[in-house]
Amino acid sequence: MFGGYHTRFAESLLGGEMRAAESMIELARRCGKPLVIYSLYAPVKPPALRRLHEAGLPVYASIEHAVKVLQALAERGIYLQQQHGQPLQASVTPLESMQAMFARAQNEGRDLFEYEAKSLLRAHGIAVAEELVAHNVDELGAAIAQFGDRPLAMKVVSKDILHKSDAGGVKLNLAGEAALREAYDQIMTSCRAYDPKADIRGVLVTPMAKKGTEAIVGVVRDPIFGPVLMFGLGGIFVEILEDVAFRAIPLSRHDAGLMVDQLKARKILAGVRGERPVDKEALVDLLLKVSSIVTAYPQLSELDLNPVIAYPDGYAVVDARIITNRSILNP
């Protein structure tokens, strides 16, 4: 009932309540510990509670809410203790070629093409699947020469077609030059029908990824927290169960490890039903490298690596999307 004694019982109690509020404020300043106040009279905002609020002390009308805040503060304290002495990820030096790539995209008013996004990742040590860009049908022979008889995937390259599958811009399990040529014609026909004005630069050809555990890595720039990294398992785990972990960038190795261990479905990464466990350290290394790339390139607004295929001996980034920040010009 603190803050309401003078209202409930006697006006003369107001002075005592104000002195008590000042004592709370002084206590919080002196001890350096968070002070959380609960009062039935918080919705009324009497003078003593207004004074606490002005001093930056939180006052809650719900005792359940106040206890949850204390729980969160305790968890934060444990986290800070664990983080003490943990170095943040090593910084990387922006490459001139990658800066130029961002500048081209910004000048053209577009985001990075998939192959450009992958080239940025590859340039900074991230394992990305092999690929080849064919600008026309006659360049498809180079894919056969490079990849041999492995089953291939083909995806349209266009800044105007973001959802490639919806436009018929994706073909899978292609074998042989005849199949590649037919798939190329089908993609062009479907995408032209989907968006007759689309700027189509060709197709991206890459070997089909071998089976593994699908994961997803994402980055957004929050107006309050800045760049935030997300990690989760792919498929239903992210789409339906929303089983993901978040951390503000930059990360420490401890942060990255906690992101992997925090998932409810982490047992899948450890191996179930006879499956071998995935390479957790490789995933931790991936998260750290993504964090360092985002720190090095402010032109990168958002990032989506989906899927990332995790294996017992590493991983492969199969698809990558990077949104450019149009308000930040190339340094």
Q: pLDDT by residue (tens digit) across 154-201?
A: 999 999 998 999 999 999 999 999 999 999 999 999 999 999 999 999
Closest CA to 137 of 195, 168, 178, 193: 178
Instruction: Specify the range with the lowest mean pLDDT, choosing from 15-24, 57-66, 213-222, 232-241.
Output: 232-241
- CA distances to 117, 125, 216, 305, 323 from 89, rounded to whole Å, are 21, 14, 20, 19, 23
**What was the pLDDT predicted at 329?**
62
Average pLDDT, the chain: 91
**What was the pLDDT predicted at 11?**
92
Over residues 297-307, the mean pLDDT reads 95
* CATH code of the domain occupying 130-207: 3.30.1490.20
**What was the pLDDT predicted at 272?**
78
Task: Collect all residues with Cβ–Cβ distance below 8 Å to 326 and sequence separation of at least 6.
Answer: 106, 109
Q: pLDDT band for position 32 (50/70/90)?
A: confident
Q: Cα torsion at 240, 245, 250, 251 (round to 10°)?
A: -140
DSSP 252: B
The amino acid at residue 294 is V
Output the six-digit token pair for 103.
């500048």
Over residues 302-321, the mean pLDDT reads 95
**What was the pLDDT predicted at 302?**
97
Domain with CATH 3.30.470.20 in the chain: 213-324
Output the six-digit token pair for 198.
């689309």
Greatest C-alpha distance within the chain: 94
The amino acid at residue 87 is P
Q: 235: helix, coil or strand? A: coil
**What was the pLDDT predicted at 150?**
92
**What was the pLDDT predicted at 83?**
66
**What was the pLDDT predicted at 327?**
75
Across 107-212, the runs of DSSP E, i.e. the strands, are 132-134, 152-158, 170-174, 200-207
Output the six-digit token pair for 64.
């359940």
Q: Give the integer Cα–Cα distance in Å for 121 and 293.
A: 8
Domain with CATH 3.30.1490.20 in the chain: 130-207
Output the six-digit token pair for 113.
């093409």
Model confidence at 331: pLDDT above 60: no
Higher pLDDT residue, 83 or 106?
A: 106
Q: Give the integer Cα–Cα distance in Å for 258 and 253.
A: 9
- pLDDT per residue as tens digits for the range 154-164: 999 999 998 99
**What was the pLDDT predicted at 86?**
67
Over residues 317-322, the mean pLDDT reads 95
Model confidence at 330: pLDDT above 60: no
Residue pair 257/285 in contact (Cβ under 8 Å)? The answer is: no
Model confidence at 233: pLDDT above 70: yes
In degrees and rounded to multiples of 5, residue 126 shows phi and psi of -90, 135
Residue pair 2/20 in contact (Cβ under 8 Å)? The answer is: yes
User: Which overall architecture, per CATH, does domain 213-324 show?
Assistant: 2-Layer Sandwich (3.30)
In degrees and rounded to multiples of 5, residue 4 shows phi and psi of -120, 5
Residue pair 243/310 in contact (Cβ under 8 Å)? The answer is: no
Q: Cα torsion at 17, 19, 21, 26 (round to 10°)?
A: -170
- pLDDT per residue as tens digits for the range 41-94: 999 999 999 999 999 999 999 999 999 999 988 887 877 777 666 676 667 899
**What was the pLDDT predicted at 92?**
86
